[in-house]
Structures are given as C-alpha cells and as structure tokens.
C-alpha cells in the first residue's frame, strides 16, 4: 500500500535555511537531502537517447537508443512510447529516478548543433512524439523532464544569446510542442533553456514560467534549470524556477537568499512554494517510501536491443533508388564484389554532448554487412577520406607505438598537484589514453593535472600531434616545451564535448627510441558563461602517423569502386562534428569537402553507388544527381550497423519519412540571414524574422525547386494505393478522416498516412497548410486496411496576439492526404461555418 506523505507537515518543520537548501542540487546529479527532517534526495541522469549515469565521459555502460530525429522519422507513436518505457528502465538501472529528456525544441535551421536531439521542424509531430516518450517514461515511475523551455534552437552563444520572437511564432511553433506534450502527458519536470527570450533568461522569464506554463497550461510540476543555467538569485526564485542544477549552488547560497528574504526582495511564501514543488517531486518519485539510491548497473536487455534495431531501421529514409539499385538482397549480390567505403567501420550511433552514452556496444555497418551478406558476396573496404575533427587520442596501440606509465606498465600515469604549492596529491596509473575531459565531480577541483608516459613509436617520421586544455596547458617531450596554450580555451563547450578544431603540429620521431611525454594543465579561473567549469581541469593529446594523415585515401577508394559491382559510401557526422555546445561548421559534410569529393569520385567510377548518410540534420547534396541510391539513416543507436544493413539488404523495408525538409541551398532555409544572429555591444542577438514560416511552412510559399526532398518524403521497396478519403464532422471543431490503404506491391511494408489542413485560398500571413494528423501502418503484400484519424480544428488555427486567443477563421479549408508536404494525393474541402476561438 502506497504511503501518503504529508508535504505540508514536513514543510512546516523546516527552517528557512533548510527550505532554501532544497532549491539547488547537492552535487552534479543529486538533489539535497535533509535526513534529520526525513527529506530524502534523488538522482537525475541524462539523457534523450540513453541513461548515462553519473560519469560524463564513460562510466557504467548503458543502452544507446535512436536519436529523436530518427524516432521522428518513424512517425510511429507506439515506438516512441516503447522507447520511453525502455529509457525509464535504463534510468532505474543507473540508480536515478529522473530522466533529463525528451528534448523537444524545433529544427529551426539546418546548422542547429542540437537538432539531432529534437524531433522535427513541425511542432505537431514533435509534440505528439514527445508526449508518447514522456508517457512511456512515467508509466514506469520515472520522472520525464521535457526540455529546453524554450526557444533553445541554436548552440552558438547559447548561455547569453537573446532571441526576439513574436508571441504568435512562440505560440504556434516554439511553444506548441511543449504545450501538446505537457497537456497530454503531464511531465513531472520541465527544464529551462540557457538562452534569453525577448530580453529575459529562460530561468527567470515571467512570461514563460508564470503566464504560459503555470498559468495558461495549468501545469504543476517541478521547474529545474539546465546545468549551469541559473542566471540570477532573486529573479529566478520569483519567476518560478524551483531547482538550480547542478550543485553545489552558485546562485542560491543560503546566506544570500536569507538576506534577500529579509530585504523583502523575495517573500518567504515564495521560498515555501519553491520548496513545496521539490518535496512534491520527491513524493511523486516515491523517495519518501524508499530513499535509497542504488548503485549503477549495466543491464544489457535483449528486448532493448531488439527495440533499438527495429526503430533504427524503421527510421531510415530511402531518398533515392534509381533502377532499384536497392535492396542489395542475397540474390542480387551473390558472387558480386561490393566496395564498402567511408565511415563504414565507425558506428555513428549518437551525437555529442549530454546525449552521448557509453553504449553497451556499437555495431558498425561493416560488421553488420559482413554478417548479412559476407558469406555470398565479396566485401572490400576503403576509408576514403580524412573526416575526423581531432587527431585520435594517443593510446597504447601497435599502430602508433607503445606508451608505458611511470610504473612501467601500459598506459599513462595521471598525477594531481596542488595549484599553489605544486605538491603531489595523488597518482594513478594505467590511463588508457591521454584524453581527460573536465572532471564533473569535485575530485579534481582547483588542482593541476599532469599526464606522463614513455612513448616508443612504431614508425619513424615527422608525425602529427594536437594538444588542448581547458585551462593553460603545456606539452613537453623529454622535458622540452613543444606546445603551449596560454590561458583558458576560447571554446570551453567545444573542449567539453570534443568539438573544437585544435592546432596540429609535427614532431620528428625515430622508431624504437623512447620519448618521455608530459602534458600539464592548470585549472581555469574563469570560463565565460560556464562558471560550473571554473577550477575543473581537462586536457587531451592527439597523435597520427604521417603516412596515415597524408595518405591519398580518395584515390584508393575510387580504384576499389571501379573494380566492384556495387559501391556503398557511408558519410556523416561523428559526435565531434554534431554535438551539443556548437552549431554545425558547414552545410556540407566535413572535413573541408573531403566527404563530398569522395562521393563524387566514387560515383564517377561506379554507376551503382549508394550513399548512406548518418547526420541529425539536412545536409548539402552536391553529388545527388551522380549517385543511384541515398539513405538517410540519422543516428540509430547502438544497433546502428544492423539497422542500416537490414534496410540495405531488404530484411526491413524502409518506411521512414523526413521529419525535416532538405533544402537545396542553405540560403533557402527560412532562418537564413537570422541565424545565429549578430552582436550588439558584445551580446549575440537574433530576431526570428521568419515568424511562423518555419520548415515546410516556408517552402510551401516558394515552390518545390527550393528543396531536394520535402517534409514527409520517403520511398519504399513496395507500392501503396489509397482509396477515396472521407471527412466527417463529429462536432463543431472535431473531424474524422478515413481512407483505405492497400499494399499494391510484392513485399510487406510500412506507409505513412499524413493529413494536412489549410485555407482553400491561403492568406499571406498564414501558412498554406499544417500537419494535423498522421498514422504509420504496416501492411503485408496485397493487404488493405481502413485508417481512421481525428482532426481538431484548433490544430489548423492561428494565435491572435491582440485577442490572446487561438482562432479558426470561418471559411473553406482543404484537408489534404499527402505523399509528403509537397505531393497531394487527394484534397477534400471542409467549411467552417462560424469562427472558432480557444483560450491559450
């Protein structure tokens, strides 16, 4: 029997100081307990596609699920729900009760660094899928934390950027997915964004937190800041931010808040409200019944593996398939030679940042294809090009050479020193590479770190190296200073997530000779915008043999493709290129045009060239006319190779549809010219001048010639037919849509039924149409099914700023069944006899 906790009674026992202590984290992941008063604490965990646990850079292995962009491409609400349930189980295995997910912001621009973590450019699709993830998570008793509230659509200067957005655009585009998910799924927590909206930081924004979230939507859960995203003391408390994360506190030190209360800047009743939310959050998570925080476990569940593989495959979008080059079935490739080129041996399972996890395993496409068709076809491999952003960390492998620590055993020796006296504080041996991201617990706080090791290179030559530190860093070879970074890195977020371009230098080594390597890094005193990194040391040392660095990889790949029957090129972004903390460097694939050049060269050499692209965003496709096939595979999770191989070989019929438009040029993107903004007296500001015309709402106004592939587009290995669509009015503002769908081809497959609605005679200030209903169904060859959908009139209305209401104008509207946002199958007119209006 569930015990009922008397929150008010507990609150009355707490002193003012104790209540204030509850309003910030205890450490990086946990809330503050008050054992003497019976108040427990809970642990949180990232993130959107896997529960990582406490260690940011490794730690306990976890299941890595498909990224939100891949889930969105399935258009499958049941898959989203199942992933939510599995994420909850993973969260519990890490001793946590609160998952920091889902990310529900809009793909405003193709260069958005964190787009992959979010679902779509369309708010209706994003909201419906986020709702299902949340419902799945919370059905297992784990809190979901929808984030980042709100308008967190870019990473450039994300801690300080001020975004000017009209209320209409906010309501219709950027707040709409949150509104749908919050009203439908009632998440137990909301995380604020780092950015400012219309002059107010999200964590202290009265419009977002009081007017909209608590007021219009009537939501009653916990509001927490993003990590390091609390920008004020008094303002954030008064606006409604309940919990500052992480801890120990920076903005809510008890004496400071007590003083603010005494000065009348914050009322004690406000402190009570904030503390009450925290206590209710703990109650929802049954922390009062069981206050334990179990040890982290790595539980590799077969049912999770199956879910990840299936969802990853179903999210893949077949964009081009000339002369039915795909699928590469066993019958088609038997006795053939298949060149596998590019990032085939690199499992692109996830993006970088808080969405990355130490996966139980990652299946590379090369290995998956070997298992699928390697017994009947000859598979040959070529790397194809240099695409890495950073040189590989110098590790103990036979290619680079051997590293022995100060104890004479493999690995580097890491030592901590007092920053003032240089006294040795701690020594640890056996570090497998000279790669140390910032220590996010307090172990290395305000300490100097050194990595030392004796390196014996395997090959003579002037090899390439790269060195970076979070603070001032020096690199020595045989006690001679070789490289120095003076001062704090200019890109702390890039360093944190391995997404900075470091300076490379060369050093002449002789094989068999031993060199003492030593890297020394000081803790940074001031990391602008990232105060939580102050005093936390980090460094990295990269190394690559000259012959590998300078090799003509494209020539090798082209020669291999020329003598093969098929060529499959794997392109994309690894977590160093597409990551939290940084927007995309280019619309073109990295590095410096190398992947684009590779595709063009191989396609010229082999007419049966297929590209499999793993990114979370639309990319430039300068070689599109040259290739026979193109598959957009996103970031499919730890089973990425198997998911991709299943699609390529026809084991799974591709059924994914684009949740984002693929423009032909970056200049055609709706936010072009207003992303990432301009600087005004040192502060980045961006105006959302495109208003509500985001994604396909923008391209609908300019025609098909602006995009390679529209929203909702995707091909299949089978064909489908649609009967006559029927639309029936159920009430004043509710309609039912039904249509018969048949699989007219020879193999089973999935098809998306997508319904759009808009004024029959479009108005210039309104989108031509909006997605208002969708359903994914799967049919055997020859099977027919009647699909029934509900459409709410509010979903094709607009927000009237003057009236502060949602409005559906009277008049005629077109209900369109589409192959995509551009390609209509059928259109039926519907008349709204009388104007409808709704409170927000």
Q: Specify whether the CB–CB gap between 515 and 455 falls below 8 A.
A: yes
Helices (H), 628-726: 640-649, 696-699
**Mean pLDDT, the chain, as a whole number?**
95
% pLDDT > 70, the chain:
98
Q: What is the pLDDT of residues 493-527, one digit of tens each?
A: 888 888 887 889 999 999 999 999 999 999 988 88
Specify whether the CB–CB gap between 387 and 341 falls below 8 A. Answer: no
Domain extents for the chain? 1-39+215-284, 303-388+550-705, 401-544, 718-838
Please check the confidence at residue 285 and state whether its pLDDT lies above 80. Answer: yes
Q: Which CATH architecture has domain 718-838?
A: Sandwich (2.60)
What does each C-alpha distance from 133 to 140, 586, 656, 727, 745 come to in angstroms?
Answer: 12, 31, 18, 30, 33
Per-residue H/E/C for 489-538: CCCHHHHHCCCCCCCEEEEEECCCCCEEEEEEECCCCCCCCCHHHCCCCC
Neighbouring CB atoms inside 10 A of 428's CB total 13
Give pTM, 2 decimals: 0.95
pLDDT for 750 beyond 60: yes
- Name the percent of the chain lying above pLDDT 90: 89
What b-and-e string marks burial along 141-160, b requiring 16 or more CB atoms within 10 Å of the CB?
Answer: ebbbbbbbbbbbbbbbbbbb
Spatial contact of 580 and 350, defined as CB atoms under 8 Å apart = no
Specify the pLDDT at position 19: 98
Q: For domain 401-544, which CATH number applies: 3.40.50.2300, 2.30.30.140, 1.10.3720.10, 2.60.120.380?
A: 2.60.120.380
Residue 441 has pLDDT above 60, yes or no: no
pLDDT at position 438: 52
Q: Tell me 243's DSSP state.
A: B
For residues 106-121, average pLDDT: 98
> 336: which residues sit within 8 A by CB, 6+ positions away?
377, 378, 564, 565, 566
Residues contacting residue 552 through CB under 8 Å, at least 6 positions apart: none
pLDDT band at 1 (very low <50, low <70, confident <90, very high): very low
Among the listed residues 46, 226, 596, 795, the single catalytic one is 226
Rounded-to-integer distance, Cα 725 and Cα 826, Å: 7
- Residue with the two structure tokens 């020594």: 427
382, two tokens: 């070529």
Residues 397 and 544: beta-carbon distance below 8 Å: no
Average pLDDT score over residue span 21-48: 97
Q: Is the pLDDT of residue 156 over 60?
A: yes
Measured distance CA(603)–CA(627) in Å, rounded = 6
pLDDT at 214 over 90: yes
pLDDT 10s digits, 579-628: 999 999 999 999 999 999 999 999 999 999 999 999 999 999 999 999 99
Residue 111 has pLDDT above 70, yes or no: yes
Residue 623 makes CB contacts below 8 A (sequence gap 6+) with: 596, 599, 600, 603, 611
User: In this model, does residue 266 exceed pLDDT 90?
Assistant: yes
Which of 716, 710, 633 is closest to 66 using CA atoms?
A: 633
**Rounded Cα distance, 690 and 198, in Å:** 16
What's the topology of domain 303-388+550-705?
Answer: Rossmann fold (3.40.50)
pLDDT digits (tens, 9 = 90+) for 456-465: 999 999 999 9
Model pLDDT for residues 816-838, shown as the tens digit of each residue: 999 999 999 999 999 999 999 99
pLDDT at 491 over 50: yes
**226 tagged catalytic:** yes
* Per-residue tokens: 15: 């002193």
Enumerate residues 6+ apart whose C-beta is below 8 A from 61: 298, 300, 358, 359, 360
Q: pLDDT band for 656, please (50, 70, 90 cuts).
A: very high
Residue 233 pLDDT class (50, 70, 90 cuts)? very high
For residues 351-361, give the mean pLDDT: 92
Q: What is the mean pLDDT of residues 333-343?
A: 98
pLDDT, tens digit, 9 for 90 and up, residues 462-490:
999 999 999 999 999 999 999 999 999 88
């Amino acid at each position: 029997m569930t015990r009922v906790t008397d929150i008010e009674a507990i609150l009355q026992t707490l002193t003012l100081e104790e209540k204030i202590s509850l309003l910030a984290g205890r450490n990086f992941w946990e809330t503050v307990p008050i054992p003497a008063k019976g108040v427990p604490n809970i642990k949180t965990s990232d993130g959107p596609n896997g529960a990582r646990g406490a260690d940011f850079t490794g730690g306990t292995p976890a299941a890595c699920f498909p990224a939100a962009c891949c889930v969105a491409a399935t258009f499958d609400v049941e898959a989203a729900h199942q992933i939510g349930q599995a994420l909850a189980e993973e969260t519990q295995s890490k001793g946590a009760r609160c998952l920091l997910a889902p990310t529900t912001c809009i793909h405003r621009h193709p260069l958005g660094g964190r787009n992959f973590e979010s679902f779509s450019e369309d708010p209706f699709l994003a909201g419906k899928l986020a709702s299902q993830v949340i419902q799945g998570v919370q059905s297992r008793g784990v809190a979901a934390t929808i984030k980042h509230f709100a308008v967190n659509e870019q990473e450039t200067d994300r801690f300080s950027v001020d975004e000017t957005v009209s209320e209409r655009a906010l309501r219709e585009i950027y707040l709409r997915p949150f509104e749908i998910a919050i009203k439908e799924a009632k998440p137990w927590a909301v995380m604020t964004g780092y950015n400012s909206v219309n002059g107010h930081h999200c964590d202290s924004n009265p419009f977002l937190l009081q007017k909209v979230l608590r007021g219009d939507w009537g939501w009653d859960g916990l509001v927490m800041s993003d990590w390091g995203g609390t920008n004020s003391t008094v303002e954030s408390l008064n606006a409604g931010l309940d919990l500052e994360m992480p801890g120990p506190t920076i903005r809510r030190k008890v004496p400071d808040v007590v003083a603010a209360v005494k000065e009348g800047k914050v009322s004690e009743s406000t402190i009570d409200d904030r503390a009450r939310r925290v206590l209710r959050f703990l109650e929802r998570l049954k922390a009062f019944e069981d206050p334990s925080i179990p040890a982290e476990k790595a539980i590799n569940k077969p049912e999770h593996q199956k879910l990840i593989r299936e969802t990853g495959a179903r999210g893949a979008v077949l964009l081009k398939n000339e002369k039915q080059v795909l699928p590469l079935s066993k019958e088609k490739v038997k006795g053939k030679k298949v060149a596998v080129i590019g990032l085939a041996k690199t499992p692109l399972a996830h993006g970088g940042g808080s969405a990355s996890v130490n996966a139980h395993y990652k299946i590379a496409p090369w290995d998956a294809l070997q298992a699928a068709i390697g017994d009947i076809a000859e598979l040959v491999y070529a790397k194809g090009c240099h695409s890495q952003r950073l040189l590989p960390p110098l590790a103990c492998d036979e290619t680079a050479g051997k590293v022995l620590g100060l104890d004479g055993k493999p690995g580097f020796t890491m030592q901590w020193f007092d920053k003032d006296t240089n006294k040795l504080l701690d020594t640890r041996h056996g570090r497998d590479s000279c790669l140390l991201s910032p220590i996010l617990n307090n172990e290395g706080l305000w300490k100097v770190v050194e990595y030392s090791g004796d390196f014996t290179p395997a090959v003579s030559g002037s090899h390439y190296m790269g060195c970076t530190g979070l603070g001032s860093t020096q690199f020595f070879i045989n006690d001679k200073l070789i490289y120095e970074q003076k001062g704090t890195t200019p890109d702390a977020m890039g360093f944190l997530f391995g997404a900075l371009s470091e300076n490379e230098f060369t050093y002449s080594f002789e094989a068999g000779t031993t060199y003492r390597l030593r890297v020394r890094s000081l803790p940074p005193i001031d990391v602008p915008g990232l105060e939580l990194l102050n005093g936390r040391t980090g460094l990295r040392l990269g190394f690559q043999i000259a012959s590998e660095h300078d090799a003509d990889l494209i020539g090798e790949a082209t020669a291999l493709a020329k003598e093969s029957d098929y060529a499959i090129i794997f392109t994309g972004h690894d977590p160093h290129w597409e990551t939290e903390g940084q927007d995309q460097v280019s619309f073109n694939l990295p590095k410096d045009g190398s992947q684009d050049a590779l595709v063009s060269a191989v396609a010229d050499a082999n007419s049966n060239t297929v590209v499999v692209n793993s990114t979370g965003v639309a990319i430039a496709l300068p070689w599109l006319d040259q290739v026979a096939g193109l598959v957009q595979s996103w970031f499919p999770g730890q089973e990425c190779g198997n998911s991709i191989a299943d699609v390529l070989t026809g084991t799974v019929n591709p059924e994914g549809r684009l949740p984002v438009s693929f423009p032909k040029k970056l200049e055609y993107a709706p936010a072009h010219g207003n992303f990432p903004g301009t600087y005004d007296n040192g502060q980045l500001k961006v105006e959302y001048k495109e208003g509500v015309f985001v994604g396909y709402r923008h391209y609908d106004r300019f025609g098909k010639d602006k995009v390679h592939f529209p929203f909702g587009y995707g091909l299949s290995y089978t064909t489908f037919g649609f009967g006559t669509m029927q639309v029936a009015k159920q009430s004043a503002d509710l309609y039912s849509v039904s249509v018969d769908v048949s699989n007219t081809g020879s193999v089973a497959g999935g098809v998306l039924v997508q319904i759009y609605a808009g004024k029959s005679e479009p108005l210039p200030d309104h989108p031509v149409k909006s997605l208002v209903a969708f359903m994914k169904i799967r049919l055997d060859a020859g099977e027919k099914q009647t699909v029934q959908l509900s459409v709410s009139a509010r979903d094709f209305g607009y927000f009237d700023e003057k009236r502060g209401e949602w409005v559906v104008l009277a008049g005629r509207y077109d209900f369109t069944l589409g192959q995509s946002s551009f390609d209509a199958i059928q259109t039926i007119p519907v008349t709204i006899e009388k104007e409808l209006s709704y409170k927000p």
